[in-house]
């Protein structure tokens, strides 16, 4: 990233030489000098490596010879490819061994990039001839990108898996793979996606539980059987994968599948504690249970109450033991006093637990009346209410509840210094919550920027931000270094900004508009983070231009992802289409669906009493859910592991 230019040329330099040419010459000179003296460094501020924490120990990025770098630049600038290939052949025949070997790989890379006939066979031959070379994992990745260009998502994932599992994998390459592969899993077959997710779990120690949960969610019983039969699950991944797969089946009442998974794990690791847990889930007797429901089915919020009730009914229809479940539905009429009366009625009918209310006001009104032994799972976004009663749990997809998820995600991606941008007064709470969450993780908020709600053009404000956040220490260091290398030149260097990422507490319309203005202010390539507020129908107004580095949290069911492969979502859509003639489902409907599945497991499948349900909801394993794996913390707030999405080629795709 660059900010300012200033150059005083020596008198001997031709006056007519254009500034752009001068900069190009200086840039090329600097590139050659630095590449000849130093190993390749991952991008980052002040040379500090920025990478996903929690990755296994990896090789250092390979050093690239200066003459080969120059050849690659010439090729990509459009120079005659025949001449470039001739010079590569000369290096292969006459170069020193290290340069010769790199030239072999780089020539094959260019053939792939140029889509030359037979390029795929050439790169395979090179990999086979030099299986231990440092560029082999990179060659797998080049081939993966070539397969993507051929619309072969499965083969692309296979090559990315080969790259991940290669002994010479580097952190730099791992970051590139983790950035691109999750979106491709959505287009690949179940088997191809699951095998890649397992490879990701083997490499990314910090995100292992998430990758395994995604793999288990994607796997059919046929695939689970095949993984065990082929020995594709390593001994350290197998127990947790099987536990996630078993718990997912338990949520739908498929106890036969849970029992089979327990058998598979028992055959491989008979003494593991997860075997006993799976067996316990499979052997429990289904019991009759009554679940109360408090929703606004009339009044100004009736539409939302009806949405939630649909989700509850679809969940009940998809459970094998639905005949054991009785629903007691009460209308809160969007009114606090009516909600209190409805709650007391349900409590008197000895329901096992209650789903609802939906509104913050009615949930707060119930607090003095809640009975300690009767657990209530409210769907409100007011997470602060949960701490005021041991009987109250909050399960929500509110953007405010997503703030911690995105703060943690940004931190896991290596961000340590963050700019937070917000707009109207409604955005301030979100901005403040994100800032506090990010700082609690150890991060630093470089600046808080508030946009004027009456202004559409924020470019002057962003240019000011750009100027104020230059990494001045690095600027001084580079000025001193260049003064030694180029004593006749007085040159001010274009610098990276002094922050790692930007959090946008804005809606999608504002994000789409601001992205272009950030680029205009020369704030480019910086990751942008946000919540499902971006999903307002305007995010792709400019087809995602300038948003390739954007990441936002959302329910997997609320994002229109092509070729949806999650079996739970497909089942939900199928059931909903059967009853209501449409597969379109809302966030609230999905949240209610997940809440009902949790309630049926607690009451009928596990047969827990009221007091036991409250303890069981706080289990550290949490619950699989379409809207994101949820763990209820000590205060009763459901902490979501939401899906994170990015934008590629004008489409919203999973980011992993």
With bands split at pLDDT 50, 70 and 90, how would you rate the model's confidence at 496? confident
**Which pLDDT value is given to residue 280?**
87
Render pLDDT for 277-292 as a digit per residue (tens, 0 to 9).
Answer: 899 888 877 789 999 9
The reply to whether 11 falls in a domain is no
The reply to whether 252 falls in a domain is no
Q: Are residues 393 and 410 in the same domain?
A: no
Check: CB of residue 436 under 8 Å from CB of residue 443: no
Render pLDDT for 57-96 as a digit per residue (tens, 0 to 9).
Answer: 777 778 888 889 999 999 888 889 899 999 999 999 988 8
- Closest alpha carbon to 554 in 638, 627, 503: 627
Domains contained in the chain, number: 2
Rounded mean pLDDT, 474-480: 50
**Which pLDDT value is given to residue 583?**
58
Choice between 649 and 135, residue whose per-residue pLDDT is larger: 135
> Would strands 289-295 and 325-331 be described as parallel, antiparallel, or unpaired?
parallel
Q: Are residues 497 and 415 in the same domain?
A: yes
Q: What is the 8-class DSSP label of residue 627?
A: T
> Would strands 353-355 and 376-378 be described as parallel, antiparallel, or unpaired?
parallel
The reply to whether 545 falls in a domain is yes
Rounded mean pLDDT, 349-353: 91
**Which pLDDT value is given to residue 556?**
62
Residue 250 has pLDDT above 60, yes or no: yes
Q: Are residues 472 and 408 in the same domain?
A: yes
Q: Are residues 420 and 501 in the same domain?
A: yes
Q: Are residues 547 and 597 in the same domain?
A: no
Dist. CA 520–CA 98, nearest whole Å: 42
> Would strands 6-8 and 490-492 be described as parallel, antiparallel, or unpaired?
antiparallel
Dist. CA 87–CA 421, nearest whole Å: 50
**Which pLDDT value is given to residue 570?**
67
The reply to whether 320 falls in a domain is yes
Choice between 5 and 578, residue whose per-residue pLDDT is larger: 578
Q: Are residues 310 and 433 in the same domain?
A: no
Tell me the average pLDDT of the chain.
Answer: 83
The Cα angle at residue 102 between residues 98 and 105, in degrees rounded to 5: 150
Give the burial class of 408: count Cβ atoms within 10 A of its Cβ; 0-12 exposed, 13-18 middle, 19 or more buried: middle
- Closest alpha carbon to 2 in 466, 550, 462, 459: 466
The reply to whether 74 falls in a domain is no
**Which pLDDT value is given to residue 122?**
95
Rounded mean pLDDT, 637-645: 84
For residue 330, how many other CB atoms are within 10 A of its CB?
23
**Which pLDDT value is given to residue 3?**
36
The Cα angle at residue 128 between residues 125 and 134, in degrees rounded to 5: 110
Last residue of a domain, one of 531, 554, 577: 554
**Which pLDDT value is given to residue 351?**
94
**Which pLDDT value is given to residue 435?**
94
**Chain centroid, CA 109 distance in Å:** 29
For residue 443, how many other CB atoms are within 10 A of its CB?
19
Q: Are residues 405 and 530 in the same domain?
A: yes
Q: Are residues 528 and 626 in the same domain?
A: no
Residue 113 has pLDDT above 50, yes or no: yes
Choice between 478 and 321, residue whose per-residue pLDDT is larger: 321
Q: Are residues 548 and 408 in the same domain?
A: yes
With bands split at pLDDT 50, 70 and 90, how would you rate the model's confidence at 2? very low
**Which pLDDT value is given to residue 621?**
79
Last residue of a domain, one of 554, 575, 605: 554
- Closest alpha carbon to 137 in 61, 195, 206: 61
**Per-residue b or e along 622-648, where b marks 16 or more CB atoms closer than 10 Å to that residue's CB:** bbbbbbbbbbbeebbbbbbbbbbbbbb
Rounded mean pLDDT, 428-450: 92
Helix (H) or strand (E) segment spanning residue 406? helix 399-412
Last residue of a domain, one of 502, 526, 554: 554
The reply to whether 67 falls in a domain is no
**Which pLDDT value is given to residue 300?**
93
With bands split at pLDDT 50, 70 and 90, how would you rate the model's confidence at 139? very high
Contacts of 176 (CB under 8 A, 6+ apart): 141
With bands split at pLDDT 50, 70 and 90, how would you rate the model's confidence at 118? very high
Render pLDDT for 500-513 as a digit per residue (tens, 0 to 9).
Answer: 999 999 999 999 99
Region of poorest pLDDT, from 9-13, 221-225, 488-492: 9-13
Dist. CA 439–CA 328, nearest whole Å: 44
Residue 357 has pLDDT above 90, yes or no: yes
Render pLDDT for 144-196 as a digit per residue (tens, 0 to 9).
Answer: 999 999 989 999 999 999 999 999 999 889 988 988 888 888 788 999 999 99
Q: Are residues 602 and 546 in the same domain?
A: no
Rounded mean pLDDT, 453-470: 84
The reply to whether 152 falls in a domain is no
Q: Are residues 464 and 589 in the same domain?
A: no
Residue 426 domain boundaries: 400-554
With bands split at pLDDT 50, 70 and 90, how would you rate the model's confidence at 656? low
DSSP string of 33-73, one letter each residue: HHHHHS----S-GGG-----TTBPP-BPPPP--HHHHHHHH
Q: What is the 8-class DSSP label of residue 470?
A: B
CATH classification of the domain holding 451: 3.40.50.2300
Rounded mean pLDDT, 125-133: 95
The reply to whether 102 falls in a domain is no
% of the chain surpassing 70 pLDDT: 82
Q: Are residues 409 and 505 in the same domain?
A: yes
**Which pLDDT value is given to residue 502?**
95
Dist. CA 492–CA 498, nearest whole Å: 17
Render pLDDT for 278-333 as a digit per residue (tens, 0 to 9).
Answer: 998 888 777 899 999 999 999 999 999 999 999 999 888 877 777 889 999 999 99
| Structure token pair of residue 21 | 């040419």
% of the chain surpassing 90 pLDDT: 51
**Which pLDDT value is given to residue 356?**
94
Render pLDDT for 548-605 as a digit per residue (tens, 0 to 9).
Answer: 899 998 766 555 544 445 566 667 766 666 666 665 678 899 899 999 999 998 998 8
Instruction: Provide the 3-class DSSP secondary structure of residue 420.
Output: strand
């Amino acid at each position: 990233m660059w900010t300012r230019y200033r150059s005083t040329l020596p008198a001997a330099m031709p006056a007519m030489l254009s500034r752009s040419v001068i900069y190009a010459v200086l840039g090329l000179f600097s590139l050659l000098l630095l590449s000849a003296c130093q190993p390749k460094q991952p991008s980052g501020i002040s040379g500090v490596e920025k990478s996903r924490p929690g990755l296994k120990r990896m090789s250092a990025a390979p050093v690239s010879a200066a003459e080969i770098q120059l050849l690659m630049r010439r090729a990509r600038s459009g120079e005659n490819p025949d001449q470039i290939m001739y010079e590569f052949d000369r290096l292969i025949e006459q170069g020193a061994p290290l340069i010769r070997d790199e030239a072999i790989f780089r020539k094959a890379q260019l053939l792939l990039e140029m889509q030359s006939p037979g390029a795929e066979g050439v790169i395979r031959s090179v990999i086979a001839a030099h299986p231990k070379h440092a560029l082999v994992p990179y060659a797998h990745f080049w081939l993966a990108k070539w397969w993507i260009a051929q619309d072969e998502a499965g083969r692309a994932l296979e090559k990315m898996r080969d790259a991940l599992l290669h002994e010479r994998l580097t952190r730099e390459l791992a970051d590139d793979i983790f950035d691109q592969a999750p979106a491709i899993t959505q287009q690949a077959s179940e088997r191809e996606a699951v095998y890649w997710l397992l490879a990701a779990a083997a490499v990314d120690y910090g995100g292992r539980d998430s990758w395994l949960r995604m793999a288990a969610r994607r796997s059919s019983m046929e695939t689970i059987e095949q993984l065990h039969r082929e020995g594709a699950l390593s001994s350290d991944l197998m127990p947790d994968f099987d536990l996630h797969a078993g718990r997912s089946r338990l949520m739908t009442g498929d106890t036969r599948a849970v029992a089979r998974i327990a058998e598979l794990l028992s055959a491989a690791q008979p003494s593991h504690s997860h075997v006993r847990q799976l067996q316990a889930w499979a052997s429990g007797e289904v019991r009759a249970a009554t679940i109360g429901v408090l929703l606004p089915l009339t009044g100004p919020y009736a539409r939302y109450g009806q949405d939630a009730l649909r989700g509850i009914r679809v969940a009940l229809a998809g459970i094998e033991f639905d005949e054991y479940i009785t629903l007691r539905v009460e209308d809160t009429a969007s009114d606090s006093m009516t909600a209190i009366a409805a709650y007391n009625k349900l409590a008197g009918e000895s329901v096992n637990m209650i789903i609802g209310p939906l509104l913050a006001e009615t949930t707060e009104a119930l607090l003095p009346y809640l009975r300690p032994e009767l657990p209530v799972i409210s769907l409100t976004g007011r997470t602060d209410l949960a701490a005021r009663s041991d009987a109250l749990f909050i399960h929500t997809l509110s953007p405010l509840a997503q703030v911690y998820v995105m703060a943690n995600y940004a931190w896991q991606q290596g961000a340590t210094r963050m700019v937070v941008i917000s707009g109207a007064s409604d955005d301030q709470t979100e901005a403040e919550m994100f800032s506090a969450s990010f700082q609690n993780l150890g991060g630093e908020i470089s600046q808080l920027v508030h946009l004027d709600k009456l202004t559409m053009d924020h470019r002057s404000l962003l240019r000011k931000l750009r100027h104020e956040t230059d990494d001045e220490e690095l600027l001084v260091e580079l000025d001193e270094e260049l003064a030694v290398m180029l004593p006749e030149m007085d040159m001010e260097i274009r610098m990276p900004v002094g922050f790692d990422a930007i959090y946008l507490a804005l809606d999608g319309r504002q994000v789409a508009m601001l992205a272009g203005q950030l680029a205009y202010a020369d704030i480019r390539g910086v990751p942008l983070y946000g919540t499902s507020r971006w999903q307002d129908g305007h995010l792709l107004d400019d087809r995602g231009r300038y948003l390739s580095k954007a990441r936002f949290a959302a329910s997997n069911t609320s994002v229109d992802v092509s070729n949806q492969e999650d079996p739970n979502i497909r089942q939900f859509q199928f059931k909903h289409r059967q009853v209501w003639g449409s597969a379109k489902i809302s966030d609230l409907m999905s949240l209610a669906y997940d809440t009902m599945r949790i309630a049926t497991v607690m009451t009928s499948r596990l047969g827990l009493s009221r007091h036991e349900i409250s303890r069981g909801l706080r289990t550290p394993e949490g619950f699989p859910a379409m809207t994101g794996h949820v763990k209820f913390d000590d205060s009763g707030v459901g902490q979501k592991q939401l899906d994170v999405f990015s934008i590629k080629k004008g489409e919203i795709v999973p980011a992993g």
